[in-house]
Chains A and B, each alone.
Chain A
Amino acid sequence: MPEHKVLQVIVDPERCQGHNRCKAIAPSLFELDELGHARVVGDGMVPPGLEDKARLAEANCPEFAIKVAQA
């Protein structure tokens, strides 16, 4: 099996303050609850081709609430 580097995004709900930068950048990876705080879509697995968007969301979150990790 060729090794796939699959990424997963994680939102720390303790840190998220609802700046909404993540969803603006990557609407297929993040969604907002009724107060405007973020959570990952589904299990947070990043589909191929969206790795850059995941990294950009991480780099733009003012609260450092997003982590991108190897799944």
Chain B
Amino acid sequence: MTDRPPVSDWAKDFDHLDPRWVTEPYQIWDELRRQCPVAHTERYNGVYFPSRYADIRAIAYDTEHFSSRRVVVREMPPRVPTDSAKPKSPPGASTLASPPITSDPPYHRPARMLLLPAFTPDAIGRLEAKTRAICGDLIDRFASNDRCDAATDYAQHVPVAVIAHMLGLPEGDGEKFRRWIHLLLHEGIAENASFAQALAEMDDYFRVQIASRRSVPGEDLITFLLGAQMEDQPLSDEHIIGTLRLLLIAGIDTTWSAIGSCLWHLAQHRDDRRRLVTEPALMPLAVEEFLRAYAPVTMARQVAKETTVGGCPFKEREMVLLSFPAANRDPEVFPQADRVLIDRAENRHAAFGLGIHRCIGSNLARMEITVALEEWLTRIPDFDLADPASVTWSHGPVRGPRKLPVVFR
């Protein structure tokens, strides 16, 4: 990864890939919310970081000024000189569209409606038994030891197996999926070559899958997309591939991070652990509170038209980090925002986004997190971090523990 100069002023020169931001962002955000609620940096060709719930909400709702055509802040080639100021599309732009997450109105709605029926609570409920079995099998592999890595031995496998099942892909390809995600969302944030490499490999992979469903249809989401129509037209292969890429990426890294953060919290809070074991009915509230406090996903927008939000100007073509995690820590909206209260009853958190792009997978993610925690606590009710210093966190749009060694008591 490129060397980056250290940050001396978070308000004027923040860097969301700075190791301090990656490991312990919450205090930095609290400080910014008090002193400079819309921070800015010249890095990455110019990025804003609003930290107040109200501003983040306003931006998520304002699709006229804030476009989803770019949703990840990445190191891009240097800005073109102002005399040819038209934004050049990045290399491979045509293969980058992942409807509906990269779509704006009016294209967004039909692409989204298409997917919604497959992700309703009823549809997801039918996957619960399968998910429970997946979790049980994973725990069988390490339960008789006295330790495991809760991220790499457990959390990361749960969503991979579930989404592979939904898409009708071999579970054994999980390693491949994780590598692509790593290249796209982690290395690819700073290295364009890794990014392009992963896109090309995914493209090839999905073309093969599509061809095989065309000859032998299955009962999976790929087959469903092949038969789906949008405005009376079948979907183009590009649309299908973009959507499959989105489901794979959005479905795995996010949920694995959420499960990991829950276990990271529980490893350090014996009282919360005990309460969830003795009062299992608290689980739904606890899951919402973990989602609030450790929200894993920070999407981005590109400023489509100059505007102001919260009294601050936003310049055209710069990027905005839409930090739902920071919104969820705003004390104006959440009393004792910096405390994790597993029985918090009023919790209007924004972990799954706000407005038209609300996470399509939210019902699936909630089910996976709940089942993964229930199964873990049934088998391993008491556990601690093996060594707090060895826990590592991902950087980029999705935050969660990537190494999480725990010992069982």
Query: B143 in the interface, Cβ–Cβ < 8 Å?
Result: no
Query: How many Å lie between the Cα of A59 and that of B358 in the bound state?
Result: 18
Asked whether A36 and B120 contact (CB < 8 A) given A60-B346, A60-B347, A62-B349, the answer is yes
Query: B386 in the interface, Cβ–Cβ < 8 Å?
Result: no
Query: B133 in the interface, Cβ–Cβ < 8 Å?
Result: no
Q: Which of B120, B347, B356, B358 contacts A34 (CB 8 A)?
A: B120
Q: Which of A20, A32, A35, A63 contacts B355 (CB 8 A)?
A: A63
Q: Which residues in B have their C-beta under 8 angstroms from that of A44?
A: none
Q: Are B355 and A24 in contact (CB under 8 A)?
A: no
Encoded as 1 (CB less than 8 Å from any A CB) or 0, chain B from 344 to 376 comes to 011111101011101000110000000000000
Q: Which of B113, B345, B358, B363 contacts A17 (CB 8 A)?
A: B358
Q: Are B116 and A36 in contact (CB under 8 A)?
A: yes
Query: B217 in the interface, Cβ–Cβ < 8 Å?
Result: no
Q: Which of B121, B348, B349, B358 contacts A32 (CB 8 A)?
A: B121
Where chain B touches its partner, the secondary structure class is helix
Query: A61 in the interface, Cβ–Cβ < 8 Å?
Result: yes
Q: Are B352 and A19 in contact (CB under 8 A)?
A: yes
Q: Which residues in B have their C-beta under 8 angstroms from that of A7?
A: none
Q: Which residues in A have their C-beta under 8 angstroms from that of B350?
A: 62
Q: Which residues in A have their C-beta under 8 angstroms from that of B363?
A: 20, 36
CB distance from B306 to the nearest CB of A (A): 27
Instruction: Kindly name the residue among B116, B348, B355, B356 whose own CB sees the greatest number of chain A CB atoms within 10 A.
Output: B348
Query: How many Å lie between the Cα of A23 and that of B116 in the bound state?
Result: 17
Query: How many Å lie between the Cα of A21 and that of B350 in the bound state?
Result: 12
Instruction: Kindly name the residue among A19, A59, A63 whose own CB sees the greatest number of chain B CB atoms within 10 A.
Output: A19
Q: Whose C-beta in chain B lies nearest to the C-beta of A56? A: B345
Q: Whose C-beta in chain A lies nearest to the C-beta of B347? A: A60
Q: Which residues in A have their C-beta under 8 angstroms from that of B121?
A: 20, 23-24, 32, 36
Q: Are A17 and B356 in contact (CB under 8 A)?
A: yes
Query: B119 in the interface, Cβ–Cβ < 8 Å?
Result: yes
Q: Are A62 and B356 in contact (CB under 8 A)?
A: no
Query: How many Å lie between the Cα of A2 and that of B117 in the bound state?
Result: 46
Q: Are A32 and B345 in contact (CB under 8 A)?
A: no
**Chain A residues touching B, range:** 10 to 19
Q: Which residues in B have their C-beta under 8 angstroms from that of A21?
A: 288
CB distance from A26 to the nearest CB of B (A): 12
Q: Are B117 and A56 in contact (CB under 8 A)?
A: no
Asked whether A18 and B345 contact (CB < 8 A) given A23-B121, A35-B120, A36-B363, the answer is no
Query: B6 in the interface, Cβ–Cβ < 8 Å?
Result: no
CB distance from A68 to the nearest CB of B (A): 13
Q: Are A59 and B113 in contact (CB under 8 A)?
A: no
Encoded as 1 (CB less than 8 Å from any A CB) or 0, chain B from 105 to 121 comes to 00000000100110111
Query: How many Å lie between the Cα of A54 and that of B123 in the bound state?
Result: 25
Q: Whose C-beta in chain A lies nearest to the C-beta of B362? A: A19
In chain A, residues 18-46, which have Cβ atoms closer than 8 Å to a Cβ of chain B?
18-21, 23-24, 32, 34-36
Q: Are A35 and B358 in contact (CB under 8 A)?
A: no
CB distance from A14 to the nearest CB of B (A): 11
Q: Which residues in A have their C-beta under 8 angstroms from that of B358?
A: 17-19, 62-63
CB distance from B286 to the nearest CB of A (A): 13
Asked whether A35 and B113 contact (CB < 8 A) given A17-B356, A20-B362, A63-B354, the answer is yes
Q: Are B117 and A62 in contact (CB under 8 A)?
A: no
Q: Which residues in A have their C-beta under 8 angstroms from that of B354?
A: 17, 62-63
Encoded as 1 (CB less than 8 Å from any A CB) or 0, chain B from 233 to 263 comes to 0000000000000000000000000000000
Q: Which residues in A have their C-beta under 8 angstroms from that of B113?
A: 35
Closest 9 interchain pairs by CB? A17-B358, A36-B120, A35-B116, A59-B346, A62-B348, A36-B116, A60-B348, A34-B117, A62-B350
Query: B residues engaging A (CB < 8 A)?
Result: 113, 116-117, 119-122, 284, 288, 345-350, 352, 354-356, 358, 362-363
Given A18-B116, A21-B288, A59-B346, 19 further pairs, Cβ under 8 A: A18-B358, A20-B121, A20-B362, A20-B363, A24-B284, A32-B121, A36-B116, A36-B117, A36-B120, A36-B363, A59-B348, A60-B288, A60-B346, A60-B347, A62-B348, A62-B350, A62-B354, A62-B358, A63-B354
The 18 listed contacts between A and B (C-beta, < 8 Å) are: A17-B354, A18-B116, A20-B121, A20-B362, A21-B288, A23-B121, A24-B121, A32-B121, A35-B120, A36-B116, A36-B120, A36-B121, A56-B345, A61-B348, A62-B348, A62-B349, A62-B350, A63-B358
